[in-house]
Amino acid sequence: MPGKIFFACFFAVVFILQSFTGTENVHPYHVGSVEINYNSKSRTFEVTGRFFLDDLENGLGKKYGTSFHFNDEKYKAKLNDGLEKYCAEYFKLKADGRFLKVNYVGYEEDSESVNIFLESETVAAPKKLEAAVSFLYNLFDDQINIVHMILNGQRKSEKLTYPNRYLYQQF
């Protein structure tokens, strides 16, 4: 929850700054967040990525050579297909040295941001968790992804700045 509050506040500050500078579609920071949370009941990792809507549209467009538009119902199927492929390439997860299959669940959007939802295959709670996170690295060479790993109530966070994409934590 603190990560969601931080990111919501960050979006609010950027929105206020945009209001004063008159730039509606441009923001000075390229940042996203990824929360990797172990659910002990389902024995899966539930992953939520949150990114600026325009950045994600542009990242998908650059990757696949076509336009994507959130907040437009006729693009929903195309967005789901593009996001599923994009996530499979730009997010990997390992538990105790074994790659986990990660499934795309879906997305939700608002006027400023997009949440992407992923879920891993079932796995016993690991002692070591590794992730490769490179969302929007295909678009920005100053992209920052803030990654939160939560396992058994223990939260560990780290900032990944392009080109660094790998992190691991011991639990």
**Strand pairing of 144-151 and 128-133?**
unpaired
- Kindly report the average pLDDT of the chain as a whole number: 89
pLDDT band at 5 (very low <50, low <70, confident <90, very high): low
Domains: count for the chain = 1
pLDDT tens figures, 70-121? 999 999 999 999 999 999 999 999 999 999 999 999 999 988 999 999 999 9
Q: For residue 118, what pLDDT is reported?
A: 98
Spatial neighbors of 41 by CB under 8 A, at least 6 apart, are: none
Q: Which residues pair with 102 in a beta bridge?
A: 120
* Single pTM value for the model: 0.85
Q: How far apart are CA 156 and CA 169, in angstroms?
A: 7
Q: Which residues pair with 36 in a beta bridge?
A: 47, 149
Is 64 within 8 Å of 57 (Cβ atoms)? no
Eight-state DSSP code of residue 7? H
**Strand pairing of 91-95 and 128-133?**
antiparallel
Query: How many Cα atoms are found within 13 Å in the side-chain-facing hemisphere of 23?
Result: 10
Could you tell me the residue range of the domain that residue 121 belongs to?
2-170
pLDDT > 70? residue 9 = no
Q: How far apart are CA 147 and CA 95, in angstroms?
A: 16
